Structure 1
């Protein structure tokens, strides 16, 4: 049976040309020229994939997607946004809602078909894993490869927000490259950094409930690359695979142990010890270098250490005087990692 595609596009010429491309590629195609009609056709036809323009009369693409997510028959249909190249903010907003992918206009036939096939393959694999008698064989590292293959790649520039506290937790992220912080703000607006994930770490998963909100924010400390999977799909994969769930629980337990140790150091460690521990924590993120250079702001590192920026800077001066680190402009070069570990 041929797969079906619902295309919602208010540009009549583009819509007709795209329908022709889809039908020539073997897809049964439904067409709607505005959001309300598209929503009705989605409910009636239950297509295998939905492609929708963003800017449309009456209901825009965001509203269409939100409505589809509220219906149990349509919430799992792969949804792809169409967006003009000149509007990257529109794409980011759509993906933050939880859409599966996007295509920028103008697009080639190859881009269109490859994007659809990628989403259909992903959906077929998920449905196959749900079939009675079939066991999902994913382990944690294999699951990370799955996310890299089928997840949406996100590039976050330095200081760009990845997700924000109290927003709907619609996505889970796998950090592939760069450095990210998660943090919370207290009632006075003071920032407390909670974690500094490293390559291969997941962030953004906080609850096994279907609907929840992010309890903290995440921001790129440098240009970073992440892969994003919808929260529902991430949860579905865990629920289908007991071994994967246990491995993930083990990861969470380890993270809690690290956090407890960090909190104890913040409560009882000396200022110099807190500074040294923080430098070691950041050095771990660039462990491929024997003399790592840290390009993180003083205020961010002070927040991780749980001390004032001024105290952190004074401690850096002491460490530099002892030849343990060097300060090159705004960067910190660690010269003697072993001596850092010996500081009490």
Structure 2
């Protein structure tokens, strides 16, 4: 399938000549004669890449990039500025706003085609799933950086071994790093005024965490503790902020992760407010099975009853009674502290 390119250029001769070059290079080309038309067409055409002049009537290139960056549907489209200006300040302004490349007119045909090919390849690579472990993180960063300022990011990466019950950060600590869990399990939790613990998340291998406080420039509102021996990769706050500020695709990935986190937390809060202990316990068991043993029919949930109670938001005695009921109802099998779900549909229908 041909890649689609949107060319936004007010000079008719340049627009037609450039479009012809791109069509000869086997690209599907749409054109716009000014910035306002370009913004509209970007949503209609959904191009794989946008080439945009800076100095235009109606709406200049900076305005186009700004408006496209505010729309999730267009914010990650690779964007190349095309302009007769050569001042460094203009180039810097474009790059700081999120442009991926910058070509000055007059340009060589091969410079244009090489810039397009390079940006399309990088965008495809970024959209591919990456292995969320230390090596996968390194590969992801290598693809994502594309900037000289980030060449040292993998060199500064810290990998640390942690024992069970080690605390990674406390509530009210101010963050200085983003974490990636590569081995083990970590729980995040809050402590209420009565000193009772409520687990907000159980993290598995491949999960990023601790990034929301950095993006919101605030202290942690929860604690993070290893619930088994774990290995954690730390990305410094500075490197992380450079990633999301300099690369729109990386920023988009983390925004999606944050959105998913917020949706899940809202669901849990609603469940805590309105669902019975039985329903919350059933949901917790199903969540743990989905996160840690989705493809294993014989997967056994190995968690302290106190942690499971904290996840459900109830007392340990209540969770023990509820698990006994589930066992008698043929929903789960219990061996020691291990729990195996034997009737998932039944748990889904618990009220």
Tell me the TM-score normalized by structure 1.
Answer: 0.57
C-alpha distance after superposition, 1:41-92 (max 9, x if no partner): xxxxxxxxxxxxxxxxxxxxxxxxxxxxxxxxxxxxxxxxxxxxxxxxxxxx
Contact 2:213–2:220 (CA<8 Å) still a contact in 1?
no
Alignment match, 1:157: 163
C-alpha distance after superposition, 1:183-209 (max 9, x if no partner): 121233211111122332211112346
Alignment match, 1:268: 274
Larger Rg: 2
Alignment partner for residue 291 of structure 1, among 289, 298, 303?
298
Contact 2:190–2:198 (CA<8 Å) still a contact in 1?
yes
CA distance in structure 1 between the aligned counterparts of 2:215 and 2:288, rounded to whole angstroms: 32
Deviation larger for 141-150 or 271-280: 141-150
Tell me the TM-score normalized by structure 2.
Answer: 0.56
Whether 1:227 and 2:214 are equivalent positions in the alignment is no
Instruction: After TM superposition, give the deviation of residue 167 of structure 1 in Å.
Output: 2.1
Alignment partner for residue 328 of structure 2, among 305, 321, 328?
321
RMSD (Å) for aligned C-alpha atoms = 2.7
Alignment partner for residue 147 of structure 1, among 127, 137, 161?
137
CA distance in structure 1 between the aligned counterparts of 2:225 and 2:199, rounded to whole angstroms: 10
Alignment partner for residue 183 of structure 1, among 185, 189, 193?
189
CA distance in structure 2 between the aligned counterparts of 1:268 and 1:146, rounded to whole angstroms: 40
CA distance in structure 2 between the aligned counterparts of 1:304 and 1:220, rounded to whole angstroms: 15
Contact 1:147–1:227 (CA<8 Å) still a contact in 2?
no
Contact 2:175–2:214 (CA<8 Å) still a contact in 1?
no
Corresponding residue SS for 1:343: coil
Alignment match, 1:122: none
Number of aligned positions between the proteins: 216
Alignment match, 1:28: none
Q: Runs of 5+ in structure 1 lacking a partner?
A: 1-128
Q: Runs of 5+ in structure 2 lacking a partner?
A: 1-97, 103-114, 140-153
Contact 2:182–2:231 (CA<8 Å) still a contact in 1?
yes
